[in-house]
Amino acid sequence: MKLRDVPSACPRLWRSLPVPSAELRLDLVLSSGQTFRWWESSPGAWTGVLGGRVWTLRQERDRLWYTVYEEEEEEDGDACPTGAAEPDGAEPERILRDYFQLDVGLPALYRAWGAADPLFRKVAKDFPGVRVLRQDPVECLLSFICTSNNHISRITAMIERLCCTFGRRLCHLDARPVHAFPSLSALAGADAEARLRALGFGYRAKFVSGSARAIAEGLGAEGLCRLRAVPYAEARRVLCALPGVGTKVADCVCLMALDKAEAVPVDTHVWRIAQQRYGAVLGGRSLTLRAHQEIGDFFRGLWGPRAGWAQAVLFCADLRKGQEPGSRGRARGGRGRDSRGDGPP
């Protein structure tokens, strides 16, 4: 394990767990628009914030290596990684297994999806290990509100500004300050919308602050988490009642934070895929609520109860294709794709 390229790492404090690349590819999962808090801090090493702590992750020889950084004690102090929150490392391993949903066996799902769908089989062979993250519902929701009419690099920069302005500072890594995702109360304040507009959030500012306020005064963060236990349709209905949350954003949150593996986020791009690649005549002439339902039902019928996971694989492949040299336009995030169908309500 070569650790010299990982910022501030102490080799004795690294731990690992067995994770074959067929089960997880960090480079595909952490850069494909599911989350916006990870960056490639050195070749093959990914640093980000998870569970209110700063982590660096790396894969080598079918093992997932990780270290967790202590919060700084002094205003200008540098962080030093700690191998675990508990002496035996059980808690960080539990967090990683939960976040990457490692209890879900991916190769068997790929085989089932490929057997049902020749197009999936053709595309997926070059994109193993793409799985859906299980994120904090508040962070996932407020982040995806920022994705309308947007692309991944811009969304990532927006979320970074959001965290630096409203979030608690966790540590410095190589002089880079790293902050936690803001609390609901921080984003629900009277001046939050104005401050977000000053950060370049535009019309999204009122939706981020408005949804934070609505959750804080209503469900609360705990109530949002409890949506994991209710049926998919009910969770989506509750989410769509929040400011700035349409069907696509609600489906993203259902899939990536609320355990609704059948949720298929649909934007104009996914609609075109259904029509052009699968020959499905769905949704009429515009992306209405009926169209969302019909397209989602089409893919659920094709791929089964984890249709959202299968779509994540095809989306990742499509995103990578858009990033290849010579492709037209800048890379766009499928979950935060810049498309007319995903604008403000």
Tokens, residue 238? 């509750």
Per the annotation, the verdict on 125 as an active-site residue is no
Which of 37, 35, 48, 36 has its CA nearest to residue 7?
48
User: Which position among 2, 122, 125, 248 bears the catalytic label?
Assistant: 248
Tell me how far apart the alpha carbons of residues 147 and 208 are, in angstroms, rounded to a whole number: 11
Any residues with CB less than 8 A from the CB of 116 and at least 6 apart, and which?
302, 303, 304
Give the DSSP H or E segment for 249: helix 247-257
Tell me how far apart the alpha carbons of residues 86 and 279 are, in angstroms, rounded to a whole number: 53
Any residues with CB less than 8 A from the CB of 266 and at least 6 apart, and which?
247, 248, 251, 287, 291, 292, 295, 296
Tell me how far apart the alpha carbons of residues 274 and 5 are, in angstroms, rounded to a whole number: 43
Tell me how far apart the alpha carbons of residues 71 and 54 are, in angstroms, rounded to a whole number: 8
Tell me how far apart the alpha carbons of residues 36 and 136 are, in angstroms, rounded to a whole number: 13
Q: Which residues are catalytic?
A: 248
